[in-house]
Chains A and B, each alone.
Chain A
Amino acid sequence: MAKRHLLSTADLTVDDANLILDTAQELASVAGRAIKKLPTLRGRTVVNLFFEDSTRTRISFETAAKRLSADVINFSAKGSSVSKGESLKDTALTLEAMGADAVVVRHWASGGAHRLANAGWIRSSVVNAGDGTHEHPTQALLDAFTLRQRLGSVAGRHVAIVGDVLHSRVARSNVHLLATLGAEVTLVAPPTLLPLGVEHWPCASSYELDPILPKCDAVMMLRVQRERMNQAFFPTEREYSRRYGLQAARMALLPQHAVVMHPGPMNRGLEISAEVADSVRSTVTEQVANGVSVRMAVLYLLLGGAESAIGNDEEGSAR
Chain B
Amino acid sequence: MTTQSGARSAGLDPAAARAVLDGPAVDRALTRIAHEILERTGGAEDAVLLGIPTRGAVLGRRLGELISRFEGHAVPVGSLDVTMYRDDLRLKPARPLRRTEIPTGGVDGRLVILVDDVLFSGRTVRAALDALGDLGRPRAIQLAVLVDRGHRQLPIRADYVGKNLPTSMREAVEVHLSETDGRDCVLLGIKAGA
Contacts and interface: CB of A to CB of B under 8 A. Distances in A.
Interface in A261-319: 300-319
B130 interface: yes
B93 A318 contact: no
Interface in B85-102: 85, 89-100
Contacts of A13: 1
Interface string B1-16: 1111001111110000
A315 B93 CA distance: 9
B3 A19 contact: yes
A311 B1 CA distance: 5
B87 to A, nearest CB: 10
Interface residues of A, number: 40
Given A18-B3, A22-B3, A311-B1, A38 B84 contact: yes
B191 A318 contact: yes
Interface stretch (A23-31, A51-59, A88-96, A116-124): A23-31
B173 interface: yes
B172 A312 contact: no
Contacts of A22: 3, 96-97
A311 B96 CA distance: 12
Nearest to B120: A319
Interface in B138-185: 172-174
A15 B1 contact: yes
Given A26-B100, A300-B94, A305-B94, A316 B1 contact: no
B134 A16 contact: no
A39 B100 CA distance: 16
A92 to B, nearest CB: 24
Interface string A159-179: 000000000000000000000
Interface in A1-28: 2, 13, 15-16, 18-20, 22-23, 26-27
Across the A-B interface, the 5 shortest Cβ-Cβ residue pairs: A318-B11, A318-B172, A305-B94, A19-B1, A304-B94
Interface of B: 1-4, 7-12, 81, 84-85, 89-100, 118, 120-121, 130, 134-136, 172-174, 191-192
